[in-house]
Amino acid sequence: MRGRRRSIRIGRRISLGGICLFLAFSQLSCGIDYFPFISPVPGPRSDLNGTVFFTLPSTGDEGYGDVEAFTNFVIYYRIYLSDFSVPTNTVDTGSNQQLRDVNPQLAADFAAIYPWADHSNINVTTSNVHNFFVNTRGFLSIEIEGANIAGVLGRDSLGQDMRIDFQDTPGRAPMLNLAGSGYQLRRSQRSERVDFDPLPNLDGRLPFFNHPALLSRDNRTDAINADVVDKTNIQQQDLQHSYAIMYIAAAGLSSTTPPTRVFSQPTFLGIFRLPSP
């Protein structure tokens, strides 16, 4: 009887092993690709005066190890013109009315992106994150002055404390601070959708300033300020304010041939009022 039970157990092991080999072979032969999971950036802390603080994931977090997918972080943004001034330097996203008061398109974008940035939502197809932001919602990838942001926010940035600063000090450009180094944030002038020539251009710099050239409807075209959203039914002279919404996501490459871009879920960073030049 003991011998029979032992033979049954051995038979089960062979059957399970055969199933595993079959499944592995099926994945290879059927062309099923493996797309790694990259955990999202934890939500930031805000002081409500235009500054957010957060710590970037480290190599111990899923998707960030030495042989895993991660390559760099990407920050997506869009700018909205407004006649409405919020009481602080950041917009209260808990108030749908305040979002609409700033700009109805801002409220629509925030609502559309919310399920993607909800880290409890397991139904997000993260491979589509970049396409969703750039081609569906009209966002662009932020840059920094004097350096390649993909390099600054690459593997050496893992585990570092990071700060984004939109404090309203006239003439002080919004900053990204990482590991003791500060970088002026720079608007983009290219995307998969269009290349353009943003204004104002301040001796080659493209800072996030609430500048008259940014507020001008004449410049709100896809050839000039393609990253700016107008507020309709408002007189030009009433457009006195501008706001930038930002999200951060981790980007990487799959192990497929050829490699495919993969992303984490995005993390909402904030909606910042642009300072005066």
Distant-in-sequence, close-in-space partners of 222: CB < 8 Å, separation ≥ 6: 193, 194, 196
User: What is the mean predicted confidence (pLDDT) over 216-233?
Assistant: 96
CA atoms within 13 A on the CB side of 77: 27
pTM: 0.86
Q: Which helix (H) or strand (E) holds 9?
A: helix 2-30
Q: Which of 92-96, 110-114, 213-217 has the lowest mean pLDDT?
A: 92-96
Tens digit of each residue's pLDDT (9 = 90 or more) over 169-180: 889 999 999 999
Higher pLDDT, 21 or 125: 125
Residue 271 vs residues 78, 128, 259: alpha-carbon distances, Å: 10, 23, 34
- Cβ-contact 254, 36 below 8 angstroms: yes
pLDDT band at residue 190 under the 50/70/90 scheme: confident
pLDDT at residue 243 in the model: 97
Q: Say which amino acid occupies 99.
A: L
Joined tokens for residue 105? 């398109």
pLDDT at residue 67 in the model: 64
pLDDT at residue 17 in the model: 46
pLDDT at residue 33 in the model: 53
pLDDT at residue 14 in the model: 39
